[in-house]
Amino acid sequence: MKQIEITPNLPVEQVIRHAQQEDVILTRQGRAVALLSEMNDEELSWYSRERDPEFLASIARARSQVKQGQVISHEALKKQLGIRKRRKK
């Protein structure tokens, strides 16, 4: 992990090149203010989802339902959806 002090003339391209090789901590007056880390499209999708208030609320609701026993078995769900068991060949 590399630390880079933010200055008025800090070349952004240089920082990006470093971040493509390893995580970069940006500092101001010796204190960490940001983390730069390389990320692909799938990681960006998950990062965005994990910070989506609606998604987080749905997870909280699901956890609450499980805690209260408001669950359905896998077999019952398949029956409800009309999914039949496959016959073994």
Positions of E strands within 14-65? 24-28, 31-36
Q: Is residue 89 part of a domain?
A: no
Residues 29-70: tens digit of each pLDDT: 999 999 999 999 999 999 999 999 999 999 999 999 999 999
Q: Is residue 65 part of a domain?
A: yes
What is the residue range of 57's domain? 41-79
Q: Is the pLDDT assigned to residue 85 strictly greater than 80?
A: no
Q: Is residue 26 part of a domain?
A: yes
Q: Is residue 87 part of a domain?
A: no
Cα–Cα distances in angstroms (integers) from residue 69 to residues 45, 54, 65, 66, 74, in the given order: 31, 23, 6, 5, 14
The domain tally of the chain equals: 2
Instruction: Supply the DSSP symbol for 89.
Output: -
Q: Is residue 56 part of a domain?
A: yes
Residues 54, 26 within the same domain: no
Residues 75, 49 within the same domain: yes
pTM (2 d.p.): 0.58
